[in-house]
Chains A and B, each alone.
Chain A
């Protein structure tokens, strides 16, 4: 096996790095004097210890939010769509904004876990598990919205191509069925990838957790993983293949979501830049979401030694980079509108920032392009308050971006006689709040009950750290 072929999940043993001068040496990915066993114990005790009071308070609030959301959904379905702000000409309201928003957040996991794996960015190891969880939970939230938006959520299978008593098939040329296929595929593959990564950790924990229920559950979930050399051989190969295949998915899912818009004629939607523009936006909001989660998790769960400020720094660099790409995309969109010489498209873009809902477009640009420029300052990239501020801003900004695209494009389209104004109702906001509550509830459960760090991926880093430490002492 040549060096280039060695998967990045373990250190290339054969070619030790040449010793760099102190100043050029990268900051270690692990801090403090920790051993492999320490990591195991930390992860185990996290899932065993009684959660702190703050956790109970937080989960009470978030689950109440989720319940309020479900109540609002039930009310909306039983009373009618009219309880929301949707009406002609804006028939895709909050529900689709929220769908696109959560799908976007869901890109974090794949990008961190999969694309950074292929690029051999070892700093992903400590954060990939939780990032994947963010993906899975965000997708659960996202999939609620199309289901309730179709109006009859007890018939979700009608979206799928299956032989049925109606003698009908889906229209495979419609972007909406592409969307269904893309989202379902992405969700199931993310879930598979997540579970595959968890198996060795379940195996490692199964013999040591105290609770008998948990022990049995972990044993069952580990499928009897023993860590044989042959098992690892197949496993790593599959992991790498999965990573490669999932990368194409990560790039395609939001492209296909964007085609729901781009393949229509609506001014402001009908643009070839939409697929890459949506993918970047999704990655952007995903990274911001992960920064937000880790800013709290590493501190509250006392994981600073494993998820160091260097990790946060690198994540913030990604946010900054993607923010610049977003800025470019916005400029390009504006340029396309101007260059199209189409009065309606030009008007739509002016309407984004100067129209009656000018705050939506302005907030989008401020939060997504201007605010993250703070991260050029190295000190800010390592300052938790600043990164929380920026990533909260980006999350809001990305939501506003979808609001701008989905609402402001259709409410002023080609026929001025159909122009209208969209105003959301309290039900819209409660459903949005409910989805946030649902996401946080799932995340909080995950953080207390499951191995939140992929120990089998971080352990080689720790071993390497020790080795370097020893070598340095020896020198």
Chain B
């Protein structure tokens, strides 16, 4: 069987010589021509009658797609999926999205231009161009310009074409056979599909692994793991094997001033209410009183709460005259240490809160036996005597443990 022919090839020394040869060959009736050049020769597309490239159209469309996708992503994430208020701007404040829209437009446009030209318009990669089998192929890459009279329908008169090429100045004329390419069968396609599927599976597992491990990976932990002992940690350095040391005797924890007074009387002489006169202190005192005390002493301090009816113990009536005459320090001592059946609350209520409760008890006593002059509007408060609402440093209600 005769080899199928791709065409007849002739070499020219310059682009100009090639350009001049094209119309002359066409005059001789050889209209199916193809050229191979080491660099782009301008005017060749017109001479060969090639249609203009449509790369630009594709680039325009894809650039638009890129820009709109970026805008869509920004709109969706900023207003729907993850609305985040920053700098007091509206969620859909689109001017801030422009840079990313711009970058995406250019990215899509450029990659369409580059990869589209290679893979879509020129159908690369393709390693089977007929001219690769010829002697001329090295020269074309270097400094020769090849013109091929194509055998479009397989009926080219090769000798006539050779003569015509020679007549217009072509050199090193040779017949280019059409390389035999085995047709890609079903087996080949199966291999391709299986290959792609395998690649997808491997890539999928890879991505899944990366997504699972990388966020929690800690290649360097020197910042977290430091040479120090945490609380409750064992260590052989000390004889008892404990990392923690007992504080030296006489250490006083902050906000846990020990009460040295032996009884309420002593305490009344030694202790003074340290809190400022503010509404916040009274509010806190009310809150703490209702939480810890009211269950037995009642919300008004009468000592007749519902719980006291069920037990034999009789809680003190805070409205009694004895309680009214007791000093602040004595009340504080009783709250802290307990009295009779009442347990001490030093462990449950912080120092400042206990004083706040004392203060609130005083307010309760006053409210149940208010003198006439306390009527609303009867007398304006003396400066410095009543609540100063704008105290700069109210006490911290919760003291650190």
**Interface of A toward B, CB cutoff 8 Å:** 1, 6-7, 9-14, 35-37, 40, 77-80, 154-155, 157, 161, 164-175, 177-178, 181-182, 185, 188-189, 192-193, 195-196, 199-200, 203-208, 219-220, 223-238, 241-242, 245-246, 248-249, 252, 256, 259, 455-457, 459-460, 463
The DSSP consensus for interface residues of chain A is helix
Q: How far is the CA of A181 from the CA of B73 in the complex (A)?
A: 14
Contact of A13 among B19, B121, B126, B222 (CB under 8 A): B19
> Cβ of B219: which chain A residues have Cβ within 8 Å of it?
77, 154
Q: Using a CB-CB cutoff of 8 Å, which residues 211-262 of chain B contact chain A?
A: 211, 214-215, 217, 219-220, 222-223
Which A residue sits closest to B53, measured CB to CB? Answer: A237
Instruction: Give B334 Cβ to nearest chain A Cβ, in Å.
Output: 48
Q: Are A208 and B138 in contact (CB under 8 A)?
A: yes
Judging by beta carbons under 8 Å apart, are B100 and A167 in contact? Answer: no
- Given A79-B222, A225-B124, A241:B99 Cβ within 8 A: no
Considering only CB atoms, which chain A residue lies closest to B217 in the complex?
A154
Of A36, A178, A230, the contact of B50 (CB 8 Å cutoff)? A230
As a 0/1 sequence over residues 35 to 55 of chain B, the CB contacts with chain A under 8 angstroms (1 = contact) are 111111111111010101101
A40, A234, A459 pick with most chain B CB within 10 angstroms? A234
Q: Is the CB of A37 within 8 A of B143?
A: yes
CA distance A168 to B77 in the complex (A): 9
Report the separation of the CA atoms of residues A225 and B81 in the bound assembly, to the nearest whole angstrom. 46
Q: Are B102 and A188 in contact (CB under 8 A)?
A: no
Main secondary structure of the interface of B (DSSP, over half): helix
Q: Are A173 and B89 in contact (CB under 8 A)?
A: yes
Which residue of A77, A205, A238 contacts B117 across the interface (Cβ within 8 Å)?
A: A238
**Is the Cβ of B109 less than 8 Å from the Cβ of A245?**
yes
Report 8 cross-chain contacts, Cβ distance below 8 Å, ordered by A residue. Answer: A77-B220, A169-B81, A172-B78, A208-B138, A226-B132, A229-B50, A238-B53, A249-B110
* B204 contacts chain A at the CB level, 8 A cutoff: no
Residue on B with the closest CB to A173?
A: B96
Contact at A181–B142, with CB atoms within 8 Å?
no
The contact size tier of chain B is: 35 or more
Cβ of B104 within 8 Å of any chain A Cβ, yes or no, is: yes
Which residues between 84 and 124 of chain B lie within 8 Å of chain A, taking CB atoms? Answer: 84, 86-87, 89, 93, 96-97, 99-100, 102-104, 106-107, 109-111, 113-118, 121-122, 124
Could you tell me if A203 and B141 are in contact, using CB atoms closer than 8 angstroms?
yes
Shortest beta-carbon distance from A238 to chain B in Å: 4
Q: Is B158 an interface position by the 8 A CB rule? A: no
Taking a contact as CB atoms under 8 Å apart, the answer to whether B42 and A223 are in contact is no
A185→B104 CA distance, assembly (Å): 8
Least distance between B218 CB and chain A CB atoms (Å):
9
Q: Which residues of B sit under 8 angstroms from A171, Cβ to Cβ?
A: 84, 86
Given contacts A161-B73, A225-B124, A235-B117, contact A154 B137 (CB under 8 A): no
Min CB distance A395 to B, Å, is 28
* Partner of B211 from A165, A167, A174 at Cβ < 8 Å: A165
Which of A79, A178, A229 touches B45 (beta carbons < 8 Å)?
Answer: A229
Select one of B39, B59, B214, B217 contacting A460, CB under 8 A: B39
Tell whether, in the assembled complex, residue A78 and residue B107 are in contact, meaning their CB atoms are under 8 Å apart: no
A173 vs chain B, min Cβ distance (A): 3
The closest CB in chain A to the CB of B102 belongs to: A252
Write out the residue numbers on chain B whose beta carbons fall within 8 Å of the beta carbon of A242: 110, 113-114
Interface string of B138-163 (1 = CB under 8 A from A): 10111100000000000000000000
CB of B56 within 8 A of CB of A241, answer: yes
Contacts of B110 in A (CB 8 A): 189, 192-193, 241-242, 245-246, 249
Question: Measured between C-beta atoms, what is the minimum distance from B109 to chain A in Å?
Answer: 5
The listed residue (B14, B73, B132, B140) touching A463 by CB distance below 8 A is: B14
Known contacts A1-B43, A226-B129, A245-B59; 19 additional CB pairs below 8 A are A13-B15, A80-B223, A157-B214, A169-B77, A170-B77, A172-B97, A173-B78, A174-B86, A189-B110, A195-B114, A196-B118, A207-B137, A207-B141, A223-B125, A224-B127, A224-B132, A229-B41, A234-B55, A245-B113
